[in-house]
Amino acid sequence: MKNLEFKDIPSLIRNLTKEQRKIIYIAAILVVLFLLFTFFAYIPQAKKLAALGNNIVETDTQIEQIMSVAKGRDLANVVKELKVNLAKTLDKFPFGEDVVVAKLSEIAEDNIKLTVRGIAPSARQPLPEKIMGKSIDEVFITMDITGDYKAIGEFLDMVRGDFPVFLRIREIDISGQGEGKSNLDCTIQFSAYLRNKS
């Protein structure tokens, strides 16, 4: 049997019977239909089904998280509590640094009787990530105070404990005023976190 070459194909097709040609045409049409079905129906539907499966998994995860927060309580009450807590948390991010400066001065001078020698905020720097969907700025606040070590310690405890704004103590520098003097000079640098005004 001689090897089949490309140039022999037309003569082979001419030598086929009508029934053989019909079978080849039907087979070619079926292959084309199968390819069309695969590319235009099956693959897009398979992608949609995979995306739907992912959505179901994400929804199940969210439901599990909600149910774990609810812990068997009425879901409506849990949602109310979460909204109240969210509002309280957002209140800890005021819009202006003047709120932070005023509160720091009030605690130092009025509550603890320290002498505030100076308090100065820096320019606002935006944080790269949003917190609870809000743009947040960081402001460095440098505060110079004078008082005895006990009062300074009490002030730092109040600021770290129940301060109404998210605040972080970055640096503390304490120095004495000289021999025989009980008061200390203290410079504190804070980071305050404020909601972006825009």
Burial class (CB in 10 A: 0-12, 13-18, 19+), 194: buried
Total-model pTM = 0.55
Burial class (CB in 10 A: 0-12, 13-18, 19+), 103: middle
Three-state DSSP state, 113: coil
Query: What does the mean pLDDT of the chain come to?
Result: 80
**2 — pLDDT class (breaks 50, 70, 90):** low
* Model pLDDT for residues 130-170, shown as the tens digit of each residue: 777 778 888 899 999 998 888 988 988 888 887 878 888 88
* Model pLDDT for residues 88-135, shown as the tens digit of each residue: 666 677 778 888 889 899 999 988 889 899 999 988 888 888 777 778
Highest mean pLDDT among 16-30, 36-50, 109-123: 109-123
Residue 166 C-beta-side C-alpha neighbours within 13 Å: 16
